[in-house]
Amino acid sequence: MKLKLITWGLGITTVTTAGLMGLIYLVNLPYPMIRRPVSKVAPLLLLPSYIKMDHHYREAIAHVEQADQLINHVSSFDDIKLGEEKVKLAQENLDKLPVWFIGYEPKRYCEMFSCSWQFTIDEFETARKQIGRMEAIIFQQKNAFNTYQQAENNLQQAKQKYQQATQPEQKQVIITSWQKSLDELQQLPPQTFAATLVSSKLDGYQRDFQSVTETITEKERTNTMITAAKNFSLSATKLCENPPHSVDKWQECQQLWQQAINRLETISQDDIGYLETQRLLAEYETNSSVVKLRSKAEKESIEALEIAKKSIQNLQEQFANGVEPNERKLFISKMQGNMEQLTKVQTGTTAYEEAQQLLEFAQAKLEEATK
């Protein structure tokens, strides 16, 4: 009998305990229609919910503070990743706090247990906003770091490819890519960790790029001057074809050669292409000297021919009625002088053919006078 009573008593206790636990579970369900009436009549039954809320609240605040320190005092990208984890944990803790429960029921809890924190709607919203701001900062930091890594990788590849490139078109494409990478690094948000990392490298990157672009600019300038010089030399060559030419034409040719020389003389010893320039310069100066000599020869030949022609004409007028015996020596002397003058007319000049004809004429007249 006594054993039956004990067994019956244990059963009643078990059922009662189970029922009480079920009741506590039921009243602590996260539904306002259940909790609010209970909080007015028997707030002690909501103790598990209050304790749980207290735990999540404290965890959320702790994670927010940790994330704030990590994100706003970054020393490595690991700080950003760890800060992101802390923000996620803080968000998870806040998500477990029912917004409709804040402001009323925690007050009851604090009245009963003298809690040291103030859990209000404003405080909850402040934590939410702080997490939102940190999420935005993390997003910006990660994007900036990814951009930094990609741009730096592209920049290093561009430097290597440029050294290997042989065609001007290839180099131009690489230079464009190089410039784009530099622009991306320069445009990183200044408040990001990536901008801090690149700040110490950017000057070096820019010097490397400037060195390459200056080399290209110098080479382009040199090529431009050489091309211009070659164009002038080609014009001079065409103009001077098929001599003999007049003095004016030779002078025009000489001016074209001088224009070509002037272009080449702008290229200094430090410029790319200096050796080729010196080779062309030597060739063009030689050609210019030849043209100067041809021009001088043409001028002197024309002058010699004109002197001889005028003298022969005067001599013919003087002895129009024939050469008297007593005048023969004078005639022969003057005619020989004219012939000597005609020999000054050089070959390859416009005056040479006419000078040869006059020589034959003078020779014939000389032979007549000596008979």
Tens of pLDDT, residue by residue over 340-356, are 999 999 999 999 999 99
Residue 300: burial class (beta carbons within 10 Å; 0-12, 13-18, 19+): middle
pLDDT confidence band for 115 (50 / 70 / 90): low
Gap between the Cα atoms of 270 and 361, Å rounded: 62
pLDDT of residue 279 exceeding 90? yes
Residue 267: burial class (beta carbons within 10 Å; 0-12, 13-18, 19+): buried
Q: What is the reported pLDDT for 138?
A: 87
pLDDT of residue 6 exceeding 80? no
The alpha carbons of the chain give a radius of gyration, in whole angstroms, of: 54
Q: What is the reported pLDDT for 281?
A: 93
Q: What percent of the chain has pLDDT over 90?
A: 32
State both tokens at 60. Answer: 């959320």
| Tens digit of each residue's pLDDT (9 = 90 or more) over 221-278 | 888 899 999 999 999 999 999 999 999 999 999 999 999 999 999 988 877 788 889 9
- As a whole number, the mean pLDDT across the chain is 81
Dihedral class, residue 99 (left if φ above 0, else alpha if ψ from -120 to 50, else beta): alpha
Gap between the Cα atoms of 213 and 103, Å rounded: 66
Average pLDDT, integer, range 215-223: 78
| Neighbour count for residue 58 (Cβ, 10 Å) | 12
Q: Which residues lie closer than 8 Å to 127 by C-beta, 6 or more apart?
A: 60, 61, 64, 90, 94
Gap between the Cα atoms of 49 and 29, Å rounded: 8
pLDDT confidence band for 368 (50 / 70 / 90): confident
pLDDT confidence band for 9 (50 / 70 / 90): low
Gap between the Cα atoms of 12 and 121, Å rounded: 44
The residue written with tokens 């990609």 in the block is 150
